[in-house]
């Protein structure tokens, strides 16, 4: 998909589901449940436990791309090197998310014509990531830093789109948007591995719906 279209889609939908720790045989049902709940932007996080688990992550990205095609806005997460960027893009990832601000990862992502979302904690890291070519900067861990921190950082850095990740729940997700974040990333609070093991995919759909409904409600005055 066109780079600008993907970016606008991410900014419009405002929610990225972070899929981490899900086995290959569970990935299609997991993605289907989340999409049914109204969230079509999914980040498949690389499992760096072993070379085999890294390869399995690429396979899952490829599988979802083939299965859901235009019905999914698919990204790769925990991308730590330029080599991993290349492999994720070849598998079908449209955006690359990292826990840190690796200039090589950002550069390789932009060279591939994809959306770059590196992680940052401080105003210095956020600025450096933006100047390196990031499209959105992931503020992590947002829940621990708190809304006051986000509001303070956003003051002088309003020109940098920030996504809040970490500790974002259905109950507080709207607060992060009101604090100035352009989007949120949600992991374990949505992609509940215990529910997946039990085959309770309906619970994932319900939680996804809760996130979407709470984000869509009228902003408090």
Rounded (to 5) percent helix, strand, coil in the chain: 50, 15, 35
Dihedral of alpha carbons 187, 190, 194, 196, sign: negative
* Residues 199 and 177 sit within 8 Å (Cβ to Cβ): no
The CA distance from 108 to 60, in Å, is: 21
Q: Which of 14, 108, 114, 138 is catalytic?
A: 138
**Known active-site residue 114:** no
Nearest to 135 by CA among 160, 155, 98, 99: 160
**Known active-site residue 158:** no
* Residues 196 and 172 sit within 8 Å (Cβ to Cβ): no
Q: Which of 2, 14, 43, 55 is catalytic?
A: 43
Helices (H) and strands (E) in the chain, counts: 11, 9
Residues tagged active-site: 43, 138
């Amino acid at each position: 998909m066109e780079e600008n279209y993907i970016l606008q889609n991410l900014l419009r939908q405002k929610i990225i589901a972070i899929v981490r720790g899900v086995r290959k045989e569970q990935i299609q049902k997991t993605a289907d449940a989340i999409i049914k709940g109204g969230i079509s932007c999914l980040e498949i996080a690389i499992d760096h436990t072993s070379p085999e688990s890294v390869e399995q992550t690429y396979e899952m990205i490829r599988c979802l791309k083939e299965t859901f095609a235009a019905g999914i806005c698919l990204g790769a997460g925990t991308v730590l090197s330029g080599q991993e960027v290349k492999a994720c893009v070849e598998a079908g990832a449209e955006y690359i998310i990292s826990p840190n601000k690796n200039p090589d990862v950002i550069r390789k992502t932009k060279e591939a014509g994809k959306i770059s979302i590196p992680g940052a904690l401080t105003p210095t890291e956020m600025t450096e990531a933006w100047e390196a070519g990031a499209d959105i900067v992931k503020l992590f861990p947002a829940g621990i830093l708190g809304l006051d921190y986000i509001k303070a950082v956003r003051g002088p850095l309003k020109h940098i789109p920030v996504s809040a990740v970490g500790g974002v729940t259905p109950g507080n997700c709207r607060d992060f948007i009101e604090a100035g974040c352009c989007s949120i990333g949600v992991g374990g609070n949505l992609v509940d591995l215990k529910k997946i093991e039990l085959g309770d995919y309906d619970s994932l759909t319900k939680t996804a719906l809760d996130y979407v409904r709470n984000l869509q409600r009228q902003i408090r005055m």
